[in-house]
């Protein structure tokens, strides 16, 4: 026996549903004229539909007439019967055609708004989210808008209009009992449907949650395909996926069982109502109070009302499911971005491109500080390098400069302007970065290169690729510039992806450059060539270099050594070596490691 799910929703869920329906209205407002025209077509179609049983009654009563003209009268009514049928079909199709633009434009607007909002959310959100789960939620959420509009315009409103017309005719032409029984049947049916559907809605919500989790697990498993193979964990991945689907299966079976119970109850209510009305109608015919045509009319009205009403349970369930799906989208849209422009934010005004970190403190979580009082200046056109062991906080500097996060203490200035006082768009337009982990779009190499500046000419793109030492490689490929790089650029090696990133940074032509381990995936020969390119690109640019290999920063105007989120040493390469501190120890360690890999290839360190 099915047990009801826990009552975890109630009034709050109802308020959310109404809130979400109101939130959907702005997406319909653009075509409010079309929506009104579609509703007009709907009403006209229902008027024609209700006229069909009235005409059928007149035809039957005409056949029962003893007058000679009876053979002519049904012919004219039959023509009218056909015209009403045709009119009903015409206005129904017109309604669909007129409303199509409203429905699909609302889906388009909402989808675009959601993607725009996702781009506005912070890096923290995107690092914590599950791609597979959110893609499934977005798919269901945007589809739910079309579902709700379809059912409201094509199912709920037509039934209400037709029910109102039928009750009005029954009230004016027949005994009150017919109206009372019809109305009572509808009320009991609707109340029963709503009550049982609310009872079983938790099954659907749990199914959605488990479906999103299973999709996320499958997505993660495929993204990490190579890792799965490295460790031979295909069986474990399948077990995780199947375990989630097993729970989803249990919820789906319970959902189906409760739906069958609901369908049987609905059928029983309709059967009782129809039987009661037909008994009253048959008695009236026997008593001479109604004609055979009246009996047919009442029966036809019942069929017109109760047959679509039989789908009300399905419609209500689908609307509730769609509202549950849509709730995910509107909750996402209500999520406030962590980083926002101030109301009086202005575009950054660049002079020389000086970058200043003033006593900067930062943490990702309050209990785990990352930076402590970091203070340094990069003068216009200068090159400052930051080195240190993993976890020292080097890459965090680049994220803060890009304002992916706001500092917890201190401030970051560009040409004397606090980056929190300028617009994010202008700030990021002024900075070019070559990240340590380059992720490419699943598109052509040309698209990924041109992404740095979509308005660039072909000559500029080819020049940037040549400076990044990737043009010859691209042109050697069978499909050349149109070669698709695969998801996240997996068809390219790490070095090839880094060279694409370097070309994009060159093409962007920013005032400030950030190189975050920009050559970490390159071989020594290519690295030396790229270093010359980067030195050329960095000329007359304010440049921040984050590096692990010290050999790549010996030409920096200033080198900062970080440890535990603090700057523990700073100076030029020669000054730091002569100081015999941490930098000198790191230099000696890396030199020994390289000599061990290739004895005799490396000269003594620069001093």
Backbone angles phi, psi at 280, to 5 degrees: -65, -40
pLDDT tens string 537-572: 777 789 999 888 888 888 889 999 998 889 999 999
Q: Express each pLDDT in 219-245 by its tens digit.
A: 788 878 877 887 788 888 899 899 999
Residues 77, 204, single domain; the answer is yes
Q: Is the dihedral of CA 23, 28, 30, 33 positive or negative?
A: negative
On whether both 283 and 163 belong to a single domain, the answer is yes
Top-confidence residue, 144 or 78: 144
pLDDT score recorded for residue 11 = 42
- Residue 73's pLDDT is 52
What is the per-residue pLDDT for 72? 52
Domain span holding position 64: 17-334
Question: If pLDDT is split at 50, 70 and 90, which confidence band does 346 have?
Answer: very high
| 162 in the same domain as 47 | yes
d(CA 77, CA 75): 5
- pLDDT for res 522: 65
In a domain, 5, yes or no: no
Is the pLDDT at 330 greater than 50? The verdict is: yes
- Quote the mean pLDDT of the chain: 80
Take residue 421 and report the two structure tokens written for it.
């006082």
Question: Residue 475: exposed, middle, or buried by beta-carbon count in 10 A (0-12, 13-18, 19+)?
Answer: exposed
From 301, 334, 367, give the residue that closes a domain. Answer: 334
Query: Cα Rg for the chain, rounded, in angstroms?
Result: 36
Last residue of a domain, one of 509, 525, 560: 509
408 with 442, same domain: the answer is: no
In this structure, are 565 and 521 located in the same domain? yes
- Domain assignment present for residue 89? The answer is yes
Q: With 80 as the cut, is the pLDDT of residue 311 above it?
A: no
Between 128 and 107, where is the model more confident? 107
Classify residue 10: in a domain, yes or no.
no
For β-strands 512-516 and 409-414, DSSP reports them as unpaired
Spatial contact of 273 and 307, defined as CB atoms under 8 Å apart: no
Residues 461 and 520 in one domain: no
Boundary residue ending a domain (334, 351, 383): 334
Q: What percent of the chain has pLDDT over 70?
A: 88
Instruction: For residues 206 and 85, state if they share a domain.
Output: yes
Return the higher-pLDDT residue of 526 and 489: 489
CB 423 within 8 A of CB 346: yes
Within a domain: residue 9?
Answer: no
CATH of the domain at 561: 3.40.50.300
Six token digits for residue 347 = 């575009």
283: CATH:
1.20.1560.10
- pLDDT at 421 (0 to 100): 93
Counting the structural domains of the chain, the total is: 3
Helices (H), 455-522: 458-467, 471-476, 494-508
DSSP, residue by residue, 491-507: TS-HHHHHHHHHHHHHH
More confident residue, 201 or 450: 450
Band (pLDDT 50/70/90 cuts) for residue 601 is very low
pLDDT higher for 144 or 74? 144
Considering Cα of 310, then 315, then 318, then 324, what sign does the dihedral take?
Answer: negative
> Does 2 fall in a domain?
no
Q: Which of 439, 336, 334 is nearest to 121 (CA)?
A: 336
Shared-domain flag, residues 375 and 330: no
- The pLDDT confidence band at residue 146, using thresholds 50, 70 and 90, is confident
pLDDT digits (tens, 9 = 90+) for 406-415: 999 999 999 9
Render pLDDT for 168-208 as a digit per residue (tens, 0 to 9). Answer: 888 888 888 888 888 888 888 888 887 877 777 778 778 87
Same domain, 380 and 282: no
In a domain, 532, yes or no: yes
Among 348, 341, 394, smallest CA distance to 511 is for 348
pLDDT of 265 above 50? yes
- Strands of the sheet with 417-418, listed across from one edge: 368-378, 355-365, 409-414, 417-418
Q: For residue range 30-80, list pLDDT tens digits in order.
A: 777 777 787 788 788 877 877 777 777 777 776 665 554 445 556 676 777
Among 270, 269, 213, 267, residue whose Cα is nearest residue 242: 213
Choice between 72 and 258, residue whose per-residue pLDDT is larger:
258
Which pLDDT belongs to residue 225? 81
CA distance 364 to 474: 39
């Amino acid at each position: 026996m099915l047990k009801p799910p826990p009552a975890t929703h109630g009034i709050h869920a109802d308020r959310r549903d109404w809130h979400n329906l109101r939130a959907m209205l702005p997406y319909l407002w653009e075509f409010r004229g079309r929506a009104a025209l579609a509703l007009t077509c709907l009403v006209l179609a229902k008027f024609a539909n209700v006229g069909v049983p009235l005409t059928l009654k007149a035809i039957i009563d005409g056949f029962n007439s003893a007058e000679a003209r009876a053979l002519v009268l049904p012919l004219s009514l039959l023509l009218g019967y056909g015209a009403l049928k045709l009119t009903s079909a015409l206005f129904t199709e017109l309604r669909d055609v007129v409303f199509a633009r409203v429905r699909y434009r609302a889906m388009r607007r909402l989808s675009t708004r959601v993607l725009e909002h996702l781009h506005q959310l912070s890096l923290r959100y995107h690092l914590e989210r599950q791609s597979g789960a959110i893609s499934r939620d977005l798919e269901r959420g945007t589809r739910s808008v079309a579902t709700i509009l379809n059912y409201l315009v094509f199912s709920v409103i037509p039934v209400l209009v037709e029910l109102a017309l039928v009750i009005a005719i029954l009230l004016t032409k027949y005994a009150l009992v017919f109206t009372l029984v019809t109305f009572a049947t509808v009320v009991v049916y609707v109340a029963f449907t709503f009550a049982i559907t609310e009872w079983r809605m938790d099954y659907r919500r749990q199914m959605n949650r488990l479906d999103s989790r299973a999709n996320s697990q499958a997505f993660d498993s495929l993204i990490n395909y190579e890792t799965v193979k490295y460790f031979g964990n295909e069986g474990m991945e399948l077990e995780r996926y199947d375990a989630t689907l097993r729970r989803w299966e249990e919820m789906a079976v319970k959902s189906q069982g409760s739906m069958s119970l609901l369908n049987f109850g609905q059928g029983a209510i309709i059967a009782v109502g129809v039987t009661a009305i037909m008994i009253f109608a048959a008695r009236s015919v026997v008593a001479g109070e109604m004609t055979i045509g009246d009996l047919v009319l009442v029966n036809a009205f019942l069929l017109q009302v109760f047959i679509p009403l039989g789908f009300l349970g399905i419609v209500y369930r689908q609307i509730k499911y769609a509202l549950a799906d849509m709730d995910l989208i509107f909750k996402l849209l209500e999520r406030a971005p962590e980083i926002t422009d101030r109301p009086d934010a202005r575009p950054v005004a660049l002079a020389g491109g000086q970058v200043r970190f003033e006593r900067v403190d930062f943490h990702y979580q309050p209990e785990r500080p990352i930076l402590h009082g970091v203070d340094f200046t990069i003068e216009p056109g200068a090159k400052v390098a930051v080195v240190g062991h993993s976890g020292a906080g080097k890459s965090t500097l680049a994220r803060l400069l890009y304002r992916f996060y706001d500092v917890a203490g201190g401030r970051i200035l560009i040409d004397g302007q606090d980056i929190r006082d300028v617009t994010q768009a202008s700030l990021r337009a002024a900075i070019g970065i070559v990240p340590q982990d380059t992720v490419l779009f699943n598109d052509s190499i040309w698209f990924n290169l041109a992404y740095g500046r979509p308005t660039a000419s072909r000559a500029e793109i080819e020049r940037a690729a040549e400076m990044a030492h990737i043009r010859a490689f691209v042109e050697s490929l069978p499909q050349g510039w149109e070669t698709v790089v695969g998801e996240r650029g997996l068809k390219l090696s790490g070095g090839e992806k880094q060279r694409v990133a370097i070309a994009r940074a060159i093409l962007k032509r920013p005032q400030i450059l950030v190189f975050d381990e920009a050559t970490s995936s390159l071989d020594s020969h290519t690295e030396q060539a790229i270093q010359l390119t980067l030195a050329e690109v960095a000329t007359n640019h304010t440049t921040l270099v984050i590096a692990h290999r010290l050999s790549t920063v010996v030409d920096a105007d200033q080198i900062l050594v970080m440890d535990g989120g603090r700057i523990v040493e700073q100076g030029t390469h020669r000054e730091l070596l002569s100081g015999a501190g941490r930098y000198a120890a790191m230099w000696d360690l890396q030199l020994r490691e390289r000599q061990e890999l290739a004895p005799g290839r490396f000269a003594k360190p620069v001093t």
